[in-house]
Structure 1
Amino acid sequence: MMVPSVVSAVKSGATSPSCTVMPLCPPLIGGRVTGNSRPILSAITLARAGRNTNGRRTRSARGRLVLPVAVALAVISVAATGCPDDGGTGLGDVVGPTAPPTTTQPPNRPPVITVDSFVWQVGDRLAARLVVGDPDGTVTGIEWNRPPPGFTSPGGADPSFSWTPPVAGTWLARVTATDDAGASSEAEIRFVSRYAHRQYILMGLGDSVAAGFGLDLTDALLGDPCWRAPGAGYPGRVMEHLVAAGDVPRDEARVVLAACAGTSTSDVWEAPTWSPHGVRQGVGEPGWSQLDWAVRLNPGYVTLTVGANDVGVVDLSILAGGELDRAELDRRLEAVAGGVGFLLDELVDRTDARIALTNYYNPTAVNPTGLPGCRGACFVELGEVVHDSLNRTLARAAARHGSRVQFVDIAPLFEGHEAGDALGPDWLRDPIETFLGVQVRAYCSEGDPSGSWVSSFDCIHPTGDGMAAIAEAVAAALMAPQS
């Protein structure tokens, strides 16, 4: 009674615990007989011949049952002994046709561009070649994007180019190289152009603090509206330190003072400045700004002090009515951050100078006259807010430029050296304030403390002692090793 069920299992492809009956023993159907597949095939052969497993012929009436029974017995034999050692395929010793070997082509590699920098002098022509190659093909195209002014290239696959920079600056051009299989590579190439470098020139930029306002009236009386004091201002004193330290040969040292009283941040690059002190005759053009002079001279050192006039430290417009307009202060500080950041970018990108940016000291006396509605302690508090906010803004602007820009904190130098009393009686101060456009009395002391480094002429600008202290700090920053 088990035979029909076994035969049904064979027909349906069911499996025994040891192997799959039909799929795992294909020699029953065809192929080379190996292992325990042999008794299975023998049983089927005998059954087809009408014989039993002993070789004797069976009666024809029963012949129709012989083949199913033989198959069932063969299946039982496989279940008992297991499939052949070759996993039941019966093909362990079969040698099939050998497939031809397949060849895998390596993927195409794109062109290789050697990243380089090109530094050249304004007005001179540079003829050069881009270093580019293809490891497994040929470069068929080179395309330049955002090249510097004065740049030309023949196009196609020609790597040559020429460059005659018309102005000083720094540019990042993008170049794409394509090979004969369509693969491409991109790279950024840096182009730098400069005017001739004058490494032993120090250039002073900025406002009245940098100009040396009030320390040398000669220039003012001779018609220089910038109120410059070349010998007494801190830029000239910085050069003295550089010479003394051996960083600059004495016979080659030169100071060019372009700073001008009343200068705002944007004036440094926008406003034409009075011909700087220290420039040789015939050099420069009318209408150049302080920044223009710095770029053209390309000095070894630049000092910069600017931002106080933007905020209103001198005219005290930010404290109108004795109250601080915080929103207006924030707006002005934002303008200072953008302006000083732009100036430093320009100086870094277009000159080879080491740059020192100073902040500001707070000239407010211990017991200042102040303004109507805000005197004494009230004015001290507001003065601290304005100066501290300005100095933080300047420090952040300098920090963005790494070692090329040294930030010099001069504020602590003046602690204990605040403003004293203003010169002259009260009746003289009104016309001075009108003439200078400054609040002479606001920062001044009710008394006249000793040791002040703030000019008694206006209670804002440094005295010679103050300038000496600033110069020492700036010189130390410029002589510090660059990281």
Structure 2
Amino acid sequence: MQFPAVLRRSAAASAAAAALILSGASAPAFAAQVPVNYVNLGDSYSSGWGSLAPTATVNPAYGSPACLQGGPDDVALFDQLQSVALTGDYACAGATVGTTTSGIPTIAEQAAKASFDGALNSSTGLVTLTAGGNDVNFGQIIAACAADTSPDATGCQTAAAAGVALANSVDVAGTVGTIRGFAGNARIAWLGYPRLFATSGESTTVTAGGGVMSAAAAAVFDKGTDQLNAVLAGKARGAGAQFVDVAPKFTGHEIGSSASWFNLGPYAQFNFHPTADGYSQGYYPAMVSAIKPAQLVKS
């Protein structure tokens, strides 16, 4: 009888092992694989904000209502990989790179707390974060663009340009340096932001701008997101960190598309943030594809 190739290999391996045992020889030892120690920092897009809207919880790492998180997200999925061990999640909705706002820890303060707790140290192999959106007044730009009904969205263009100017002053290098000071052996992955609004050129578009803003303003806002991501990417790479572009994973799933992955409804505090699908089907696969966590595992 002809065995399939995989069974023939298994039978041959069993025979070889039996021969080793009978001869008294030692079988080769296989080193255990050690998962990469992982810490998550960042703003609302790193804290799962909106994944279980209207539910929000206090981040147990702080025990303070100044640091809130949403529900299960890409970070939780990443932690389920055998190659990853989450040692601390310090992300807070509303966090900035710069000055502390309403008591919400900045990214540097999150890193310092993670270090104090012993979660972020020389054994940390990976740190992920999203940051920068709050520093460029993300919410104010949306409001300005939503209010702009001019044919060329000139008011939206002005607001978006101001946001890009602020992006150029975001201290990405200093933040990466702070994290690296606590975790000198870690890969630092700075995650970008998705485009929020469907545009008229997409085949999946139901309403360009999703009814939030005009098609012209939506195009300007999405371009501004691309520019913010480009600035953050250049700064992150210049500081020796990795930048993870998530925007392509969300194409066809923006607000106004036929299958949106964003909150937009009665729970306004979660609007313009991903749903559970956005985190699991947008952010998570982008992280796995770019970071390749299995390659960080040590034997």
Same fold (TM over 0.5): yes
Q: Counterparts in 2 of 1:171-210, with a 5 A limit? A: 200-210=36-46
Specify the code of the residue in structure 2 equivalent to 1:328: A
Structure-2 residue corresponding to 1:302 = 127
- Is the Cα–Cα contact under 8 Å of residues 211 and 226 in structure 1 kept in the other structure? no
- 1:269-328 alpha-carbon deviations (Å, 9 max, x no partner): 996639xxxxxxxxxxxxx92020244432332111011111222232783763132663
Q: Does 1:234 align with 2:74?
A: yes
Match of 2:278 among 453, 456, 466: 466
Q: Distance in 1 between matches of 2:111 and 2:100?
A: 6
RMSD: 3.3
SS in 1 for 2:72: coil
1:265 is displaced (CA, Å) by 1.4
TM value normalised by structure 1: 0.42
Which structure 2 segments of 5+ residues have no match?
1-33, 149-154, 200-207
TM value normalised by structure 2: 0.65
1:219 is displaced (CA, Å) by 1.1
Match of 1:314 among 135, 139, 149: 139
- Is the Cα–Cα contact under 8 Å of residues 173 and 236 in structure 2 kept in the other structure? yes
Q: Distance in 1 between matches of 2:133 and 2:92?
A: 13
- Is the Cα–Cα contact under 8 Å of residues 360 and 411 in structure 1 kept in the other structure? yes
Q: Distance in 1 between matches of 2:251 and 2:41?
A: 25
- Is the Cα–Cα contact under 8 Å of residues 202 and 235 in structure 1 kept in the other structure? no
Q: Does 1:212 align with 2:48?
A: yes
SS in 2 for 1:316: helix
Change (3 A) 1:333 1:212: same
Number of residue-to-residue matches in the alignment: 228
Q: Counterparts in 2 of 1:372-411, with a 5 A limit? A: 375-402=213-240, 405-411=241-247
Change (3 A) 1:333 1:370: farther
Change (3 A) 1:400 1:199: farther
Specify the code of the residue in structure 1 equivalent to 2:73: G
Change (3 A) 1:341 1:199: farther
Q: Distance in 1 between matches of 2:44 and 2:36?
A: 24
Structure-2 residue corresponding to 1:332 = 166
- Is the Cα–Cα contact under 8 Å of residues 78 and 284 in structure 2 kept in the other structure? yes
1:360 is displaced (CA, Å) by 0.6
- Structure 1 or 2: more helix by fraction: 2
1:255 is displaced (CA, Å) by 4.4
Q: Distance in 2 between matches of 1:316 and 1:269?
A: 18
Change (3 A) 1:477 1:385: closer
- 1:127-184 alpha-carbon deviations (Å, 9 max, x no partner): xxxxxxxxxxxxxxxxxxxxxxxxxxxxxxxxxxxxxxxxxxxxxxxxxxxxxxxxxx
Change (3 A) 1:223 1:260: same
Higher relative contact order (CA 8 A, sep 6+): 2
- Give the share of equivalent positions with the same residue, in percent: 29
Change (3 A) 1:410 1:417: same
- Is the Cα–Cα contact under 8 Å of residues 271 and 289 in structure 1 kept in the other structure? no
1:383 is displaced (CA, Å) by 0.7
- 1:404-425 alpha-carbon deviations (Å, 9 max, x no partner): x221110111110011xxxxxx
